[in-house]
Amino acid sequence: MSGGGGCSIVWFRRDLRVEDNPALAAGVRAGAVVAVFIYAPEEEGQYYPGRVSRWWLKNSLAHLDSSLRSLGTPLITKRSTDSVSSLLDVVKSTGATQLFFNHLYDPLSLIRDHRAKEVLTAQGITVRSFNSDLLYEPWDVNDANGQPFTTFSAFWERCLSMPYDPQAPLLPPKRIIPGDVSRCQGDTLVFEDESEKASNALLARAWSPGWSNADKALTAFINGPLIEYAKNRRKADSATTSFLSPHLHFGEVSVKKVFHLVRIKQVLWANEGNQAGEESVNLFLKSIGLREYSRYISFNHPYSHERPLLGHLKFFPWVINESHFKAWRQGRTGYPLVDAGMRELWATGWLHDRIRVVVSSFFVKVLQLPWRWGMKYFWDTLLDADLESDALGWQYISGTLPDGREFDRIDNPQFEGYKFDPNGEYVRRWLPELSRLPTEWIHHPWNAPESVLQAAGIELGSNYPLPIVGIDAAKARLQEALIQMWQLEAASRAAIENGVEEGLGDSTELAPIAFPEDIQMEESHEPVRNNPPVGPRRYEDQMVPSMTSSLVRVEEEEASSDLRNLAEESRAEVPTNATAQQNARETVNQGVLQNVNRNTQVQHNNTTAWLRNAAEDSTAESSSSTRRERDGGVVPVWSPPSSSYAEPFVDDESGIGASSSYLQNHPQSHRLMNWTRLPQTG
DNA sequence: ACTACTTTCCC
DNA sequence: GGAAAGTAG
């Protein structure tokens, strides 16, 4: 089984660890191993990783390589634009007969991995894949009727009360027999260009990528801040968070291991009667659960990163306002908590979860910018950028999840400021221009008496902006926009009844992965166009500007003092007329955007079926009872909930929902109902 | 132990 | 905004 031919390829992706790595364990068990990482960022389309994310990946791979070498084999890295053909190259040059990898659940990976499986199997290669990223595979977690959950709390409750525990973590292999890679050409991967190196150098001071560092971070958290997690979680300061998210994103630490270790603490604290500790554990596990849920949603609704799950906002006239978008990015909105957060993000690639909610909620509700812009900015700037988690977060904020926030409720950053940063320390750290402002005014400088401002050296509108949109104005504007939305919706319904729209949905065919064309075009590094063309369009409101290249990072230490002087071209001052623009809403007529790509849906249905089927051989047998009835292993994995849930998920990938829009059937949907209270089956 | 208030927390 | 939990009477 080992030696020359017959070795196995272990294909590393976002599972950059040697501990509790089922694919690696299977490879080791089968004999000689060729460990491979293929870097093909172009496959990600517009989700080409941002600078900080690439920096992390680079370091994590180096770390993995040295671990693998000490176990007996190097990590072969390949630069590619087509992962599957690179895999074939590796097969040919090593004589491998088996391929092992761990599952991913984002839509791109689902399709690519399916193709890998098909193509390699056709070449006579044995391909096996495993769960290493989740406590439970998405298809194993269903409600009493065997349907996927559509709200988080029900989902998580079920996860915590599954009839079988998540698999226990595997130990790292003691030794790896190397496959013959003498004829296998590796590539040196380049993750940063010259202009990025200086900014990246600073990241190393705060972060240590790599699986064994992840393990240390986990231990440190569990033995330290975890017990106070419940108490500290409302602070803007991130010192007491776990800092595990980037490690988790790249699979440097196994969620199953996190879960097991945390549960051990929970039992311990429960026995001691330590209520606060137990509470902390529950809350921390919930955040792990949210990560699970993001994969669950992505798997069951593979378009959730680019399309709202609920369609009730389909006609919402998002405000296409480049200068507001820029002010938000630069941390110059005039709301101290928002601005502090955005500057921290800019400077460090990191943001406490609370503050992510604050800045994104401000983005969607006050500025009413299209959420996918914000999501893309997060993608480009966050160290732990994660498509599934970010999509879930932004959809939650936008109120397009069944259990999301009410759309017409605006959070007030001033009040949130006093809640999360009562003494203004966070704001003062990131907004030096406000550092001398007394706490009484720190979260609403626009109300401060002139004398106070003068004493603090603040000149509003000059060295710190006035609010670019007032909260009251935002509320009024939101009401107005909703009215407009209902009108558009009604118009669309009328159009459908008159048959105007018929041909469109069917005649347009998109590429299999169905990034809307206009978004793909946005990949360029040009500045974003200012005036959206008039007329019918698809997803125009969701064009995603790319700003990766314009990001010039600020050194952490300097961030406070020099922020405004740096990167001048990309950080222009907030336009002085910004507030005047607030009424210049440019409405977007999405009237005929009905472009649910049925071809894609069919394809996706087929492609994901393999995952479930494959997993049936390789995952816990005990789960089978929960999943058999409905599908017998034949029906596509993510066929939609067929009950009353199906309809709210307008335009979902379901294939059946494509022609019957929720709005058609429920003209009263403008009441912004709470979807969780829709009649439930059973 | 009951109700009528408050505060808290929602992915 | 509203359920849910906490608290005062």
Lowest model confidence (mean pLDDT) among A10-24, A80-94, A235-249, A278-292: A235-249
What Cα–Cα distance (Å) separates residue A276 from each residue in A219, A235, A377, A449, A472? 19, 17, 36, 42, 39
Query: What is the location of CATH 3.40.50.620 in chain A?
Result: 6-133
Q: What is the structure's pLDDT at A422?
A: 87
- Chain C: nucleotides below 7 Å from protein CB are 1-2
The reply to whether A290 has its C-beta less than 7 Å from any atom of strand B is yes
Average pLDDT of the segment spanning A432-438: 96
CATH code 1.25.40.80 region(s) in chain A:
209-300
Residues in A 324-383 whose C-beta is less than 7 A from nucleic strand B are 353, 357
Q: What pLDDT is attached to residue A613?
A: 57
A155 CA, B9 C1': Å apart: 18
Average pLDDT, chain A: 76
Give, in Å, how far the C1' of B2 lies from the CA of A353. Answer: 40
Quickly name the fold that domain A6-133 has.
Answer: Rossmann fold (3.40.50)
Say how far A358 CA is from B3 C1', in Å.
37
Does A243 have pLDDT greater than 80?
yes
* Strand A75-79 versus strand A33-39 pairing type: parallel
% pLDDT > 90, chain A: 53
Chain B: bases < 7 Å from a protein Cβ: 9-11
pLDDT in tens, A76-88: 999 999 999 999 9
pLDDT exceeds cutoff 70 at A182: yes
Decide if pLDDT at A331 tops 50.
Answer: yes
Q: Which of A148, A102, A145 is nearest to A293 (CA)?
A: A148
Reference A514, options A440, A607, A576; nearest CA is A607
Kindly state the DSSP code that residue A172 receives in the 8-state scheme: P
- The predicted-structure confidence for A582-630, as pLDDT tens digits, reads as follows 222 322 222 222 222 333 344 455 556 666 655 444 433 333 332 222 2
Annotated binding residue at A506? no
A279 Cβ within 7 A of any nucleic strand B atom: no
- List every span in chain A annotated with CATH 1.10.579.10: 322-483
**A242 assigned ligand-binding residue:** yes
Does the pLDDT of residue A525 top 50, yes or no? no
- Digit-coded pLDDT (tens) for A136-181: 999 999 998 899 999 999 999 999 989 999 999 999 999 999 999 9
Which pLDDT belongs to residue A668?
Answer: 26
What CATH number does domain A322-483 carry, 3.40.720.10, 1.10.8.60, 3.30.365.10, 1.10.579.10? 1.10.579.10
- pLDDT computed for residue A498 by the predictor: 82
- Measured in angstroms, what separates residue A47's CA from nucleotide C2's C1'? 38
pLDDT of residue A452: 96
- Nearest nt to A389, CA vs C1'? B11
**Strand C: which residues have Cβ below 7 Å from it?**
A 406, 409, 674
Q: Mean per-residue pLDDT for A545-552? A: 29
pLDDT digits (tens, 9 = 90+) for A26-37: 999 999 999 999
Q: Residue A233: pLDDT band by 50, 70, 90 thresholds?
A: confident
pLDDT in tens, A394-404: 999 988 888 87
Taking a C-beta distance cutoff of 8 angstroms, is the pair A417, A443 a contact? Answer: yes
pLDDT at A13 over 60: yes
A669 CA to B4 C1' in angstroms comes to 34
HSE-CB at A77 with a 13 A cutoff on CA atoms is 18
In this structure, which topology does domain A209-300 adopt according to CATH? 1.25.40
